[in-house]
């Protein structure tokens, strides 16, 4: 049967050459994906609404198993992965990773309490971050969590708490330094080049209540150059040797943080991520190889290798989640671009500020692709999920998929103007489960309190405020 093509109003479009340029195919063609992790998009939207975040349990388990395998097969000592909660702290996501033996890496009272609430044993919690107040630090110390000290005031506070509790607390120092490959994150931890880090190590050594057993650094995020990690390990290992030679501590674990990139495109990088992102095995090769080389002396002395800790976030979870969004309407901008308004914007897709996510259509569309801007639902000019993408004409109700959105969206999303939507998980049997319920008026107003005289939006007739207003 001959299918009638939908009518489209005639438009004059500039012919743009250079769809393929020296950087390869720059545009998003009308490739269609009708399913997400094996499930039909329309059926998902019918059941759970739009926008909708869809996560895959199998993909997440496969990713973390692979990460562990590539490191464990290259390192002769123990390897631990600690899940960086801030990347995505949806409870179900955390527990999948904990079931796969990941520890928790937390950076606030909330994250610490959440890990404990989920049932993570304290000795499997790494407490990082620059803001640990006395109350939470006291809890973490008395429960036996592993604390990475960020600054000198925290060191003093920790010493006081340890003294109060009459404990010797094993601690590690967060270090920062310049690897020469990525912008150094100097604001976290103690700086090696300036001597601050050695000063902190001797302060720990002088304390009767603190004992230095670990070193940590996190050199940044989305580090596309594996050699940055070689430099990191060498700098940390040199510091470790010096600390041990001075008798300031015996290092049992060596935490290299996270920072491995996910298969996503950063804004301004035109080559596709498949061509710019090194495989995890390359990161494992340099980290494990360098650490084994740098710790030869320990083996000669009959000491075991330090435990290698990884805190990889986005590389583990990014490609395990997709966002389904629907078209609300369209318009044409004065510069000739098509513009499409979606029901999901930067309120949900925080990472749109620095990524060009892969975008897919979910149904065939015969229209001519043209330069299109994708806007979200917020009444704010900044709410642009894509300034420019080649897409065929879209009509209200059409869906788009935003791929690889599992990292830093379900934690950095904003409750602003719109309710946050359902997040569902496609479990190992292909069944769908809601893992975070959509917000509604009840959940959104649960924290509001109305003083007695503000219970009504109307002033009562005898209210003195009325008299004031009429003057
Ligand atoms: C201390 C620490 N560890 C791990 C991570 C996870 O980083 P990524 O998602 O880049 O792997 C972060 C993120 O900022 C961090 O601050």
Decide if 333 contacts 369 (C-beta within 8 A): no
Q: Give pLDDT, residue 21.
A: 52
Q: Give pLDDT, residue 271.
A: 86
Q: Could you write out the three-class secondary structure of 277-315? A: CCCHHHHHHHHHHHHHHHCHHHHHCCCCCCEEEECCCHH
Query: How far is the centre of ligand 1, averaged over its atoms, from the C-alpha of 222 (Å)?
Result: 9
Query: How far is the centre of ligand 1, averaged over its atoms, from the C-alpha of 299 (Å)?
Result: 30
Cβ 84 under 6 angstroms from ligand 1: yes
Is the predicted pLDDT of residue 27 greater than 70, yes or no? Answer: no
CA distance 172 to 80: 16
Per-residue confidence band for 471, with pLDDT thresholds at 50, 70 and 90 = very low
Q: Give pLDDT, residue 10.
A: 72
Query: How far is the centre of ligand 1, averaged over its atoms, from the C-alpha of 221 (Å)?
Result: 6
Stretch among 9-23, 58-72, 194-208, 358-372 having the lowest mean pLDDT: 9-23
User: Of 3.30.70.20, 3.40.50.2300, 3.40.50.300, 3.20.20.10, which CATH number belongs to 128-312?
Assistant: 3.20.20.10
Q: Give pLDDT, residue 5.
A: 79
Decide if 323 contacts 409 (C-beta within 8 A): yes
Q: Give pLDDT, residue 444.
A: 96
Cβ 377 under 6 angstroms from ligand 1: no
Span(s) in the chain for CATH 2.40.37.10: 21-54+319-441
Q: Which of 172, 257, 277, 314 to mutate to test the pocket of ligand 1 (most atoms within 8 A of CB)?
A: 257
Is the predicted pLDDT of residue 175 greater than 90, yes or no? Answer: yes
Cβ 221 under 6 angstroms from ligand 1: yes
Cβ 261 under 6 angstroms from ligand 1: no
Is the predicted pLDDT of residue 309 greater than 80, yes or no? Answer: yes
pLDDT digits (tens, 9 = 90+) for 121-142: 999 999 999 999 999 999 999 9
Provide CB contacts within 8 A for 188, sequence distance 6+. 130, 150, 174, 176, 218
Atom of ligand 1 nearest to the CA of 260: 11
Q: Give pLDDT, residue 18.
A: 45
Of all protein residues, the one whose alpha carbon is nearest to atom 10 of ligand 1 is 259
Is the predicted pLDDT of residue 174 greater than 50, yes or no? Answer: yes
What is the tally of helices (H) and strands (E) in the chain? 14, 22
Quote the mean pLDDT of the chain. 93
What pairs with residue 423 in β-bridges? 53, 436
Span(s) in the chain for CATH 3.20.20.10: 128-312
Query: How far is the centre of ligand 1, averaged over its atoms, from the C-alpha of 183 (Å)?
Result: 15
Q: Percentage of the chain surpassing pLDDT 70?
A: 94
Place of tokens 């620095």: 354
pLDDT digits (tens, 9 = 90+) for 215-272: 999 999 999 999 999 999 999 999 999 999 999 999 999 999 999 999 999 988 888 8
- CATH superfamily membership of 21-54+319-441: Lyase, Ornithine Decarboxylase; Chain A, domain 1 (2.40.37.10)
Query: How far is the centre of ligand 1, averaged over its atoms, from the C-alpha of 173 (Å)?
Result: 16
Q: Which of 93, 182, 221 to mutate to test the pocket of ligand 1 (most atoms within 8 A of CB)?
A: 221
Per-residue confidence band for 1, with pLDDT thresholds at 50, 70 and 90 = low
Place of tokens 């390359």: 282
Query: How far is the centre of ligand 1, averaged over its atoms, from the C-alpha of 261 (Å)?
Result: 11
Region 293-311: mean pLDDT is 94
pLDDT digits (tens, 9 = 90+) for 351-406: 999 999 999 999 999 888 999 999 999 999 999 999 999 999 999 999 999 999 99
pLDDT digits (tens, 9 = 90+) for 435-463: 999 999 999 999 999 999 999 999 887 77
pLDDT digits (tens, 9 = 90+) for 34-52: 999 999 999 999 999 999 9
Per-residue confidence band for 31, with pLDDT thresholds at 50, 70 and 90 = confident
Region 278-306: mean pLDDT is 95
Q: Give pLDDT, residue 25.
A: 47
Cβ 255 under 6 angstroms from ligand 1: no
Region 185-199: mean pLDDT is 97
Q: Give pLDDT, residue 398.
A: 98
CA distance 353 to 25: 22
Atom of ligand 1 nearest to the CA of 148: 1
Q: Give pLDDT, residue 29.
A: 55
Query: How far is the centre of ligand 1, averaged over its atoms, from the C-alpha of 421 (Å)?
Result: 26
Query: How far is the centre of ligand 1, averaged over its atoms, from the C-alpha of 382 (Å)?
Result: 26
């Amino acid at each position: 049967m001959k299918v009638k093509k939908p009518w489209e109003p005639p438009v004059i479009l500039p012919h743009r050459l250079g769809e393929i340029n020296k950087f390869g195919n720059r545009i998003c063609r009308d490739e269609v994906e009708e399913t997400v992790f094996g499930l039909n998009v329309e059926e998902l939207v019918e059941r759970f609404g739009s926008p909708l975040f869809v996560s895959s349990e199998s993909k997440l388990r496969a990713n973390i198993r692979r990460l562990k395998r590539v490191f464990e097969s290259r390192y002769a000592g123990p390897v631990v992965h600690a899940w960086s909660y801030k990347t995505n702290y949806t409870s179900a996501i955390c527990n999948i990773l904990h079931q796969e033996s990941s520890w928790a890496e937390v950076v606030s009272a909330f994250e610490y309490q959440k890990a404990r609430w989920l049932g993570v044993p304290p000795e499997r919690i790494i407490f990082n971050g620059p803001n640990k107040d006395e109350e939470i630090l006291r809890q973490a110390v008395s429960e036996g969590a592993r604390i990475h000290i960020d600054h000198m005031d925290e060191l003093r506070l920790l010493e006081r708490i340890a003294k109060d509790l009459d404990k010797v607390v094993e601690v590690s120092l967060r270090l920062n330094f310049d690897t020469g490959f990525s912008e150094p994150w100097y604001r976290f931890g103690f700086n090696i080049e300036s001597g601050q880090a050695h000063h902190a190590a001797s302060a720990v050594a002088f304390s009767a209540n603190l004992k230095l057993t670990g070193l940590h650094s996190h050199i940044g995020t989305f580090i596309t150059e594996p050699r940055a990690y070689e430099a990191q390990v060498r700098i940390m290992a040199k510091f470790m040797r010096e600390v041990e030679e001075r008798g300031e501590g015996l290092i049992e674990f060596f935490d290299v943080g996270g920072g491995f990139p996910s298969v996503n495109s950063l804004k301004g990088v035109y080559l596709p991520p498949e061509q710019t992102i090194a495989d995890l095995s390359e990161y494992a090769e340099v980290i494990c190889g360098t650490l084994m080389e740098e710790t030869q002396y320990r083996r000669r002395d009959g000491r075991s290798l330090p435990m290698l800790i990884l805190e990889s976030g986005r590389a583990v979870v990014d490609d395990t989640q997709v966002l389904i969004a629907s078209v609300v309407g369209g318009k044409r901008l004065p510069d000739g671009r098509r513009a499409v308004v979606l029901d999901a914007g930067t309120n949900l897709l925080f990472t749109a500020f620095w990524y060009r996510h892969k975008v897919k259509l979910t149904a065939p569309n015969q229209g001519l692709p043209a330069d299109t801007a994708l806007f979200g639902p917020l009444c704010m000019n900044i709410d642009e999920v894509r300034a420019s993408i080649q897409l065929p004409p879209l009509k209200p109700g059409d869906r788009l998929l935003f791929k690889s959105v599992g990292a830093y969206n379900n934690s950095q999303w904003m409750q602003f103007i719109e309710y946050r939507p359902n997040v569902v998980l496609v479990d190992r049997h292909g069944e769908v489960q809601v893992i975070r319920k959509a917000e509604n008026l009840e959940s959104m107003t649960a924290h509001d309190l109305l003083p007695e005289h503000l219970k009504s939006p109307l002033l009562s007739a005898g209210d003195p405020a009325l008299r004031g207003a009429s003057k």
